[in-house]
Amino acid sequence: YSANQQTPDSAPTMTAMVTGVKTSDGVLSIDQDVARQEKDNAVIQAHKLTTILELAKARGMSTGVVTTARVTHATPAATYAHTAERDWETDSKLPAGTSVKDIAAQAVDNFAANHGMEVLMGGGRTYFMPNTKFDPEYPTVKGRRKDGRDLTSEWQTKFNGKYVWNKAQFDAIDPANTKSLLALFEPSHVQYEADREKMDGAGEPSIAEMTDKAIDILQKNKKGFFLMVEGGRIDHGHHAGNAYRALTDTIAMSDAVRKAMEKTDPEDTLIVVSADHSHVFTIAGYPKRGNPILGKVVGAGKTDFAKASDGMPYTTLSYANGRGYHVLPVGGDTSYNEPIQTGRVADMTHVDTTDQGFHQEALVPLSSETHAGEDVAIFA
């Protein structure tokens, strides 16, 4: 929960995780006494909370953030930015009269010269680029910044850093001679793991590969390091009602955890794995062990599909709310282009529910599936 909601969004939950303080919906690393969308930076500065990344930086440690979402999205932004609106990711999002800096600018401006984050990797390239400049990967897409700043260039100059935007450039980075690295692989979020190799012509690394290189850069510091790694697209798969992509990205996150464990020693490095919230996602129906998790329910000792009281089979996985059932040629976010279709609208007997384009049934019709309010596990 957050200070003002029983079911939270990612801004106050990640704020709580990195500062130890509960705060309100939509705000990042400021306390609950500030109204959402507060425009006055003096108010923000008076109520800002110190993050674990900032504490690590003050101790002389190296710091990094890796995400499969935009690096300016709520979860990564909570580690380094202070604002009363999580959506103020670039200056073109700021309302008139706002003295608070946008989140992308804070990634550069909140740190002294030569003392910025050593690693910032993920998506959100256009949030760092001026609107007069075309994206290097998608020639019809322009940057989003109205202030003319090219934050990718400023990162390199201010922090003696390197900037990459594709897999070949990423692979060419030698951690031994890299002081800091800004890597932005998409205009917005990076590709889902299921789509990464087939949908991205320029290529982008997996979250495990980003974690691997981040640790190589960060561990050069004898004083130690702090690294936040987020499998952000797990959340997006659930919001779209596509368990296939949510779970595939969860496997990719597991690979990143395994890579971090291989590259560190538990004698001197603590690894914590958790979530900032859950989703209204259920595993139910008494399926037998070994039944495909994406499949239809088959009970223990049975060979036929279990039937609901309407005489139709049902899936092990479903959502309490969202856009509902669809089978699409491409999965994930494409469901937002389809009409909302909740409830029991189709007989699943001959539907391949394990297909990547299958979107699970949902009960309550909403434009997007919501978070849930139960406690999340913490592993360390």
3-state DSSP assignment of residue 52: helix
Give me the residue label for tokens 């395994």. 258
Q: Which helix (H) or strand (E) holds 284?
A: none
Q: Which helix (H) or strand (E) holds 23?
A: none
Structure confidence by residue, pLDDT tens digits, 139-167: 999 999 999 999 999 999 999 999 999 99
What pLDDT score was predicted for residue 37? 98
% pLDDT > 70, the chain:
100
Residues recognised as catalytic: 10
Structure confidence by residue, pLDDT tens digits, 73-132: 999 999 999 999 999 999 999 999 999 999 999 999 999 999 999 999 999 999 999 999
User: What top-level class would CATH report for the domain 10-230?
Assistant: alpha beta
Tell me, what DSSP letter sits at residue 190? P
Quote the CA–CA distance of 227 and 65 in Å, as a whole number.
Answer: 6
Quote the CA–CA distance of 248 and 128 in Å, as a whole number.
Answer: 29
215 has a pLDDT exceeding 90: yes
Quote the CA–CA distance of 182 and 22 in Å, as a whole number.
Answer: 30
| pLDDT, the chain, mean | 97
Question: What's the rounded mean pLDDT across residues 252-265?
Answer: 98
Pairing of the two strands 281-283 and 317-322: antiparallel
Q: Where are the domains of the chain?
A: 10-230
Q: Which two tokens stand for residue 129?
A: 């680029």
Quote the CA–CA distance of 140 and 248 in Å, as a whole number.
Answer: 30
Quote the CA–CA distance of 51 and 16 in Å, as a whole number.
Answer: 9
